[in-house]
């Protein structure tokens, strides 16, 4: 196997040079970080699960006309993607109060917002990815007015689709993070969805029990991160009830106690 040239390494993924011009290979790691990488750890099998979930979500988004960087999954941890120029913004889509919003505005966690809220953060780990306004985005030319219109309309459309998709499997989509990139064709570019959509960047709560099925289990030291990620994959139909190997799902009926921090009851 020839040695691949690494292009970039982030907190959760590594990007390698792709087999064809304009492509990259995106490798999903098991590394977990929180609070702008102040907390670090590992969630066993996370990269495998996130690769499958992100493939599933991006494929279905493309079916409803949302352009994405995803081309195809290569193996358990890698996917082939289009190379884009990342817009230096994280787009936070919020349906329910949680995380930094509750701390910043004193809102109770779990309160349904009057309408979907879009927030923008400047992508800079050294600054802690600060919240920025659309005026600041325009002032520093991080994205044009037309690009911001495309970003907001795509974010709302993605949110509508994902809310329905997760609701159908009894999961409440609380909030999630999006990133977009510019795909260039000569002097012209168009925006497409980039990065990933997985439990790493989404808050996902069981609609019946309220159990957290996302990286908040790692952030808050709740335990059961592996089971939670696998449960999301199982409900999406990506892994079967009986799969229990590396990167495969465990049946939550036998592991719900671990998610809650208690021992499962004997049947």
> What is the number of H-type helices and E-type strands within the chain?
7, 14
Residue 248 phi/psi, 5° resolution?
Answer: -105, 165
CATH number of 85-206: 3.30.470.20
- The widest CA-to-CA distance across the chain, in whole angstroms, is 65
Tens digit of each residue's pLDDT (9 = 90 or more) over 105-133: 999 999 999 999 999 999 998 999 999 99
Q: Is residue 254 pLDDT above 60, yes or no?
A: no
Going by C-alpha positions, the residue among 75, 197, 87 that lies closest to residue 141 is 87
Per-residue model confidence (pLDDT) at position 256: 42
Q: Is residue 243 pLDDT above 90, yes or no?
A: no
Q: How many other β-carbons are positioned within 10 Å of the β-carbon of residue 156? A: 13
Residue 78 and residue 71 in contact, taking contact as beta carbons nearer than 8 Å: no
Residue 267 CA to residue 254 CA, distance in Å, equals: 9
Tokens found for residue 120: 């923008």
Residue extents of the structural domains in the chain? 85-206
Residue 15 and residue 42 in contact, taking contact as beta carbons nearer than 8 Å: no
Q: Is residue 248 pLDDT above 60, yes or no?
A: no
Per-chain mean pLDDT for the chain? 90
Residue 15 CA to residue 22 CA, distance in Å, equals: 13
Q: How many other β-carbons are positioned within 10 Å of the β-carbon of residue 178? A: 21
In sequence order, which ranges of 129-242 are alpha helices (DSSP H)?
A: 134-139, 145-167, 216-219, 225-235
Tens digit of each residue's pLDDT (9 = 90 or more) over 24-50: 999 999 999 887 777 899 999 999 999
100-118: burial string, b at 16+ Cβ within 10 Å, e else: ebeeeeeeeeeeeeeeeeb
Q: How many CA atoms lie within 13 A of 146 on its CB side?
A: 4
DSSP per position, 94-142: EEE--THHHHHHTPPTTPEEEEEEEEEEE--GGGT--EE-HHHHHHTTS
């Amino acid at each position: 196997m020839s040695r691949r040239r690494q292009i970039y390494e982030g907190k959760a993924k590594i990007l390698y040079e792709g087999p064809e011009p304009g492509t990259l290979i995106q490798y999903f790691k098991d590394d977990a970080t929180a609070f702008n990488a102040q907390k670090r750890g590992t969630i066993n099998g996370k990269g495998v699960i996130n690769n499958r979930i992100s493939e599933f979500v991006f494929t279905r988004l493309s079916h409803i006309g949302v352009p994405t960087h995803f081309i195809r999954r290569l193996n358990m941890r890698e996917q082939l993607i289009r190379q884009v120029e990342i817009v230096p913004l994280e787009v936070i889509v919020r349906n329910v109060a949680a995380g930094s919003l509750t701390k910043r505005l004193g809102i109770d966690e779990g309160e349904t917002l009057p309408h979907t809220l879009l927030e923008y953060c400047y992508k800079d780990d050294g600054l802690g990815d600060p919240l920025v306004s659309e005026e600041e985005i325009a002032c520093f030319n991080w994205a044009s007015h037309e690009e911001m219109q495309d970003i907001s309309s795509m974010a709302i459309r993605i949110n509508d689709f994902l809310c329905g998709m997760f609701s159908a499997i009894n999961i409440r989509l609380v909030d999630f993070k999006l990133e977009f990139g510019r795909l260039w064709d000569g002097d012209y570019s168009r925006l497409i969805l980039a990065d990933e959509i997985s439990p790493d960047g989404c808050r996902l709560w069981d609609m019946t029990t309220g159990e957290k099925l996302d990286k908040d289990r790692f952030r808050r030291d709740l335990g059961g991160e592996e089971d939670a990620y696998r449960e999301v994959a199982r409900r999406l139909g990506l892994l079967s009830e009986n799969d229990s190997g590396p990167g495969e799902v465990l049946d939550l009926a036998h592991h719900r106690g671990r998610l809650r921090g208690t021992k499962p009851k004997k049947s």
